[in-house]
Structure 1
């Protein structure tokens, strides 16, 4: 959100704080905490400092004629005109729409405690932004995100995030879908990653002494231990996933993946590449495009390419071409009587 919109929101919060009859004469620190709590859902000083509040009070006096004064006796701020209100300087319709859009974006995470706190903060601001309007209309939905049933495990996002920040070892039971067994794992958590509406924890397994990806939907009874870990300085999320499409990574060199696509699919791939390594190798007279990638051969890559159907043909490497042909044959067998 642009700085000017943040400032206008702070002005309104400061205004309400000063006019609060139950907590009169708010101090500079109280004003700072009120602004940060309503705008960001916290009050630890990470987002708003005292100098910001000082500048806001000065701007409210100069730009909006706010009669703000400081009482040495009460050690706080008050209005010399008790009838003054910043409600006369409402947010514009454009400002309100911007806040509504942010709220809609966060709404897709409404079932997780981690993101819910931010949705609540924005909703509080929005409620107050339109509170002075005499009439309220029901907005027709104009933005819609992909909606899927809530995946189990998302309720543990906050626990893992705090463990990552605090460098705490985590312990949990992990359900291996392939082996159909649960084992206890102790992990040094490094990263939370979302892929196709599922969340994953990336961390160093104490058992295997290497970085592994764990699906949150397969994690049970997680706890954050008091034990601290020393992060592996060689780990970089960007480097770790550099040659991966999705969340699967293994210790092999990436391959040069070459595919040929028909004209329609080519346009989609040019408008939204499936990977940052995508490059156009050739454009054929019939409009087909030959694309190149530098990727590991993973389950996710094969699912994406097979999802393109007859509009895509694998050129190289032979290993990938063979695997997809075998998968297609098995799939075809499923439909034979």
Structure 2
């Protein structure tokens, strides 16, 4: 419970300072934490000393959130322009856990999706294998086949997409080194070997920097794609951006227009189809043509 409460405290400090662009004093931060303690009853260790708070700052720094003390105003400020994506995701999950705790497991207060993807029980083992460069084996069942196949792999990373987790790994029976994607919900009988492998220098983030989803577009030139949404749908796209490259071109009472820079894949077109009827593809023409091909094939 101590670790959980510490994470809640770190999240509360970061969220509070994020809401205070001009900074806040230690006294204001402490008062905020104490008020939340009385509301939510999380741990009493609410950074009641400067030493505890300094330790919290160091931990937040390790998460990519840098807090600086401004002596002229005697205030603390987050000097990052924004939370890193990873830090925000971690905090979002902590918020979810805390809300669930406050609901006292009442299924009528928090109603969860019933069709969750499985496979998360393998996460810890896969993280260990990746960190320690251990060869792994498992049975993998493709959805369209239904027959398990044994895989011997060199694991490199884990990637999340739409609440599903995927393993990025090199299949050892292949002739050339090639990172493939494996859905954790299709993995069974995971075994972690004591035998290590020599890790090759590969930037897995770069493999997906111009991608939407889990299809790597490494080596493909990204395209500039302009999409227009009606005002109501635009609010949804604004609150949950389609891609990290999203730039706003128009935002008014009639239109929300954005620009994306990515290499379009099947995953991306599937996303566009979810906005059918409330979106127009302004450019380029090849993306518009492909979109309508998929739309018409779904109707036939």
Please tell me the TM-score bracket, short chain as reference: 0.5 to 0.7
Distance in 1 (alpha carbons) for counterparts of 2:195 and 2:157: 18
State the partner residue of 2:151.
185
State the partner residue of 2:290.
323
State the partner residue of 2:200.
232
Q: Is the aligned partner of 1:278 residue 2:246?
A: yes
Match of 1:105 among 80, 92, 96: 96
Displacement of 1:140: 6.5
Match of 1:174 among 125, 140, 144: 140
State the partner residue of 2:61.
none
Change (3 A) 1:103 1:240: closer
Q: Secondary structure at the residue paired with 2:201? A: coil
Distance in 2 (alpha carbons) for counterparts of 1:102 and 1:332: 38
Change (3 A) 1:255 1:98: farther
TM-score under structure 2 length normalisation: 0.61
State the partner residue of 1:265.
233
Q: Secondary structure at the residue paired with 2:249? A: strand
State the partner residue of 1:218.
186
Match of 2:2 among 39, 64, 67: 39
Change (3 A) 1:172 1:199: same
State the partner residue of 1:160.
126
Displacement of 1:280: 2.5
Distance in 2 (alpha carbons) for counterparts of 1:255 and 1:267: 24
How many residues are aligned here? Answer: 219
State the partner residue of 2:281.
314
Structure 1: state its 5+ residue gaps. 1-37, 42-90, 109-118, 127-136
The question of whether the paired residues in 1 share the 8 Å contact of 2:211 and 2:217 is answered with no
State the partner residue of 1:44.
none
Distance in 2 (alpha carbons) for counterparts of 1:98 and 1:281: 45
State the partner residue of 2:41.
96
Distance in 1 (alpha carbons) for counterparts of 2:191 and 2:267: 30
Q: Secondary structure at the residue paired with 2:123? A: helix
Q: Is the aligned partner of 1:195 residue 2:186?
A: no
Distance in 2 (alpha carbons) for counterparts of 1:229 and 1:107: 40
The question of whether the paired residues in 1 share the 8 Å contact of 2:137 and 2:153 is answered with yes
Change (3 A) 1:210 1:97: same
Q: After superposition, what is the alpha-carbon deviation per residue over 1:125-157, rounded to whole angstroms, capped at 9, x for unaligned?
A: x9xxxxxxxxxx968779737423343322222
Structure 2: state its 5+ residue gaps. 5-35, 45-91
The question of whether the paired residues in 2 share the 8 Å contact of 1:280 and 1:292 is answered with yes
Distance in 1 (alpha carbons) for counterparts of 2:93 and 2:269: 35
Displacement of 1:95: 5.5
Distance in 2 (alpha carbons) for counterparts of 1:240 and 1:290: 27
Distance in 1 (alpha carbons) for counterparts of 2:261 and 2:122: 34
The higher radius of gyration belongs to 1
Displacement of 1:293: 0.5
Displacement of 1:308: 0.9
Q: How does 1:37-116 map to 2 (within 5 A)?
A: 39-40=2-3, 92-94=37-39, 96-97=41-42, 105-106=96-97
Change (3 A) 1:93 1:227: same
Displacement of 1:202: 1.3
Distance in 1 (alpha carbons) for counterparts of 2:200 and 2:270: 32
RMSD (Å) for aligned C-alpha atoms: 3.5
TM-score under structure 1 length normalisation: 0.55
The question of whether the paired residues in 2 share the 8 Å contact of 1:249 and 1:296 is answered with no
Displacement of 1:96: 1.5
Q: Is the aligned partner of 1:300 residue 2:267?
A: yes
Distance in 2 (alpha carbons) for counterparts of 1:309 and 1:271: 18
Distance in 2 (alpha carbons) for counterparts of 1:140 and 1:218: 31
